Chain A
């Protein structure tokens, strides 16, 4: 069974700084998806960024980028120029190709300090 580990329960950073959230996973599969989801306080969970395991290039979405290390089974999220609106719970998630049941980590609560 796949597992996803987020070892940082809480983090805080000053506004405009860069922060990196860690995620490791365990799988015996070679083809899979990885995701970062954001859950703002009292708001809907939304997708931040996704990565297909067969792609060597790291995914980027504006201020959000990932460092995908397939051999190390590591998938960290970097948020550049952090903004107050980035304050949220962040969940790392894994899904096998062809199996759309996601396995989630326990989350990292990120607080951006003005």
Chain B
């Protein structure tokens, strides 16, 4: 039962254009969402997050949009740069025992930026 889904395993975009990565979730109890970026042989690094009380959060070239009614979020990168080539994971956040954080990850989307 995949609670968080990234239906595009890969995406190829030309340098300078917009990259749009999509993520769907099924559990309406999630109220915080995160995007992580991962390079080969490294751990995931935090990119941007959004609370369910917002529909948009922007940080430089990165913007995350949340559509709660559709249970859908997207990450926009503009303009795309070669260094953005990586695997991107979306994650939905909940709570475990004693305030520990439960992160449920999607399968990841491999983004390739072509010069």
Q: Do A and B come from one complex?
A: no
Show the binding face of B for A, using Cβ within 8 Å. none
Show the binding face of A for B, using Cβ within 8 Å. none
